Amino acid sequence: MLTAMVGAIESGIIYAIMALGVYLSFRILDFPDLTVDGSFVTGAAVAATLIVSGVNPLVATCLALFIGFAAGCMTGILHTVGKINALLSGILMMIALYSINLRIMGRSNVPLLNQKTIFTMIQEWGAKFGLDSAAAKTWGIFVSMAVLTLLFKFFTDWFLQTEIGLAIRATGDNPRMIRSLSANTNLLIVLGLGLSNAMVAFSGALIAQYGAFADVGMGIGMIIIGLASVIIGEAIFGTKTIARTTLAVVGGSIIYRIVVSLALRAQFLETGDVKLITACIVILALVMPQIVRQQQKKKRKEQKRRERAQVIAISANGKGESDVAIKSDL
């Protein structure tokens, strides 16, 4: 049980980088980018292929980030220059990336067993500091991935406060207004989608090394996982500020992985039910806040009705007392 929870938290921290990318496209740019399902695999494919070829894992992972940035920019170009619908441009790029990923890997699956990865390097560094193999594998990976995810979180916070970041936020909120200020919204959309998919591809590269394989089908439903993380985090932690929202996205990713891990421990569920569990979690995350808001609205209406009734009663009593006083004077 404890091992499963630790694994869920570790994977949740890594997936949080992908969730931050989804947050940029869906919440900041208000762009339904389905490229995520393809760019996640692209990051995994690039990293795995380069690692098998003998490239340093750190270099391979960074290259996966740049390839993901290029994929996101292509989606933005299809939408802005090609004037293709936002949803359709993401779908087209996702389909194209499936073939591109197969080309990169040369086959449908690339195993990374007995290969040097970022996580084996972390274990080696932990051993140098006197940690045993188990502690280096658990705490070394946990701490290093937590630090890396926080760096992406702080970068997102900082970037969205810059002039370009504010312009991207304005493009998502009111493109007509920001266009009237002579801002190039097309360029901003391309840049925002590029950054979003760069994070997604980077997360895919880490997941491939964490699971010791890259598979052409590992990105199916990834957009739903990212949305689930964003929605769960926002519902639980709130969205008052950018810093709080990005922290909520990271927390939502970890909570999502923990919930899935606990759900799979049920005897009537199997490993193949992960997508069904994901769909149910997203449905609950979308429906429950609506129900809570409706209940709160209903309570507020009931409270106002009672207050109005009390005011009417008090005014009626005051009028009755004044009538009695007038009659007594007469």
- Per-residue pLDDT reduced to its tens digit, 51-100: 999 999 999 999 999 999 999 999 999 999 999 999 999 999 999 999 99
% of the chain exceeding 90 in pLDDT: 49
Whole-structure pTM value: 0.86
Answer yes or no: is pLDDT of 211 > 70.
yes
How far is it, in rounded angstroms, from Cα 330 to Cα 322? 13
Helix axes 118-128, 57-80, angle to 10 degrees: 140
Model confidence band, residue 325 (pLDDT cutoffs 50, 70, 90): low
Rg (alpha carbons) of the chain, rounded to whole number: 26
% of the chain exceeding 70 in pLDDT: 92
How far is it, in rounded angstroms, from Cα 281 to Cα 301? 30
- As a whole number, mean pLDDT of residues 150-166 equals 93
Answer yes or no: is pLDDT of 193 > 90.
yes
How many residues appear in the chain?
Answer: 330
- As a whole number, mean pLDDT of residues 200-212 equals 93
Residue entry with tokens 């919204």: 185
Local structure of residue 83 (DSSP, 8 states)? -
User: How high does pLDDT run on average in the chain?
Assistant: 87
- As a whole number, mean pLDDT of residues 245-269 equals 85
Which domains, from first to last, does the chain contain?
2-265 (1.10.3470)
